[in-house]
Structure formats: C-alpha cells, structure tokens
Homo-oligomer: A and B are copies of this chain.
Amino acid sequence: MSVLIVGTTALDSIKTPTRENPRLLGGSASHAAVAASFFSRVKLVGGVGEDFPKKYLALYRKHGIDLAGLQILPGKTFHWSGEYEVNMNHRRTLLTELGVIETFQPKLPAAYRDEPFVLLGNLAPALQNAVLDQMHKPRFVVADSMDLWINIALPELLRLLKRVDGFVLNDSEAELLTRENNVQVALRKLHRLGPKYVIIKQGSHGSILSGPRGIFLCPAFPLRTVEDPTGAGDSFVGGLMGYLAGARGSIEANLRRAMVYGSVTASFCCEGFGLNATTKTKRADIQQRVKQLEKMTVF
C-alpha cells in the first residue's frame, strides 16, 4: 500500500555552530516523504514556486515519490532560515519567506482520494482540514503540528484533532497545548481532544505513544554526531506512516515497530544537513540500526 503525505515543501538555509548550508531541500512533506519511501510508495501533496530547483524534483523521483499532487505555482518557493545553538537542542528562526505557501491550497488528484494512509505533516491546520475534506474514507490519519499553529490557529487545530486517528507533537508543544508539564497527564488531556493515539516526541530522548494498548516508550538511536536535526521529527512520523502502510496486519499490532522504524529513520536524518544523510541511507542500514536498538533496550 501507499501513503499520502501533505505538508510544506521548502528551501531551508541552515546554520549550525560549525557550518552553513543554503537552500537545501526541506519542509515537513519533503522529510516525511523521503523517510516513508523506504517502506512504501508515497503520494506527495504540496506547493512549490517556479524557482524550485529541478534537482530536487529529481531527488523526489529517485525515491519513487508520486508528484501528481505537487503544484508548481507562480512565485517563489517557501524559504526558511534557522540557526542552531551549540547543543543542537535550541534553534532560532532567522528568516521566513512564505512565497507560494501563503496562498497554497492543496488540491488532490482523483487518484489520491482513496489512499488508506494519510499523513497530515506540519502545515496550517486549515490546510490539513482541507486535505481531509477531499479524502474518501481513509483507514488511518495522523497529524503533526507545531507551536506556531497552537498559538495562531488553535480553533482549526482543535477541529482537526476531532477528525484524526493519531496526533504527533513534541514535549514543549504538548505543554503549550495542555498547560501541563507532566507528560502522562498531558497525554490524557490530549486524548480528550479526540485522537485515539497520541505520540509525544522528546528529541534525543525518544518518544512516547499512548493508545488503547497503553504506553510505549520508544527509544531514540544514540548518535555520536548530530550534524543538523532539522526535519528529524518529520522523518520520524514519515518513517512511521511509511512502515504502517507497507506492513501487513493491524495498525495496533504494527504501531510500536513503526515508531521504532520512524525513530531510526530520523536518526539518519540528523547525521547530515537537510536530506543529505537520509537520501544516502539504504533500507538495510535502517534494518541494522533497528536490530542494534533492540539489543540496546532488552533487559
């Protein structure tokens, strides 16, 4: 099976304490789509400007990503620029040029509307809702979000949460949304907003799933080098949804392993700027790290 992924398709200019890389392929949909492509076919929904480099279209295609849902619009591609501090845990935005993303309206090709797996990557909740409006009965819908939307588009986000099966956010966003710093209590409050499954990401500390089978503590693969964590969260949820779409059996039975595969895919993302390391990764590399992670967690 395949997975439909919507989100931002952007150019990222990223500064870290040691390096600077301008206009890399970035955005939530790009990271999620490449991560998902290791496990299943991917149908991308997004919008780029006329300046979008052809080499990035080639990169999507190299990963077998279906681009029928990628609109090339008059204007400039969304451009984000950010800078990381020494410990890579804090970043600040230097520049946000919305470009075509400002007026982008997702429009799904007919062939996309029956997809069973839908990842609503980080994007304005109104657009995430607009994608869902166009879908026929999807089997499993997961939404990602960010602090920005909690701050400026809360009603739309809350409307979305009533329509999705799973919601993914990081720990500081969970605290912002629930006003609760205890993760277990926050999880309970998040379920009350609608989603059956809630996943709270904790960066290098892994992530926590809460669902009908209880809590799953998903480890992060320990890395010696973190070159650039941009897109790690998108890679995580992309890998997760790709794994689910590619696996046989019930969602419930596959979800924990899907998180581990997502987590490992995200670990590769952190080892290079933008998508540089992810695109060099092979399915066998992911497999190997999953096995290593199993050995590191058994007791």
- Which residues of A pack against B, CB within 8 Å? 86-87, 181-185, 202, 204-206, 208, 214-219, 222-226, 256-257, 259-260, 294-299
Q: Which residues of the other chain, B, contact A204 by a CB distance below 8 angstroms? A: 183
A217 and B208 within 8 A (CB): no
Show 25 A/B contacts (Cβ-Cβ < 8 Å), sorted by A: A86-B181, A87-B181, A182-B225, A182-B226, A183-B222, A184-B222, A184-B224, A185-B224, A202-B205, A205-B206, A208-B222, A214-B296, A215-B296, A216-B297, A216-B299, A217-B219, A217-B222, A217-B296, A217-B297, A218-B299, A219-B297, A256-B299, A257-B299, A259-B299, A260-B299
Task: Tell me, rounded to whole Å, the shortest Cβ–Cβ distance linking A225 to chain B.
Answer: 7
Q: Give the docked Cα–Cα distance between A296 and B183 (Å).
A: 15
Considering the complex, give the chain B residue whose CB is closest to the CB of A258.
B299
6 further contact pairs, Cβ within 8 A, besides A183-B204, A202-B205: A182-B223, A185-B224, A216-B297, A217-B222, A217-B297, A260-B299
Task: Tell me, rounded to whole Å, the shortest Cβ–Cβ distance linking A231 to chain B.
Answer: 19
Task: Tell me, rounded to whole Å, the shortest Cβ–Cβ distance linking A286 to chain B.
Answer: 14
Kindly list the 4 A-B residue pairs having the minimum CB-CB distance in the complex, ordered from nearest. A256-B299, A205-B205, A184-B224, A87-B181
Task: Tell me, rounded to whole Å, the shortest Cβ–Cβ distance linking A110 to chain B.
Answer: 37
Q: Which residues of the other chain, B, contact A218 by a CB distance below 8 angstroms? A: 299
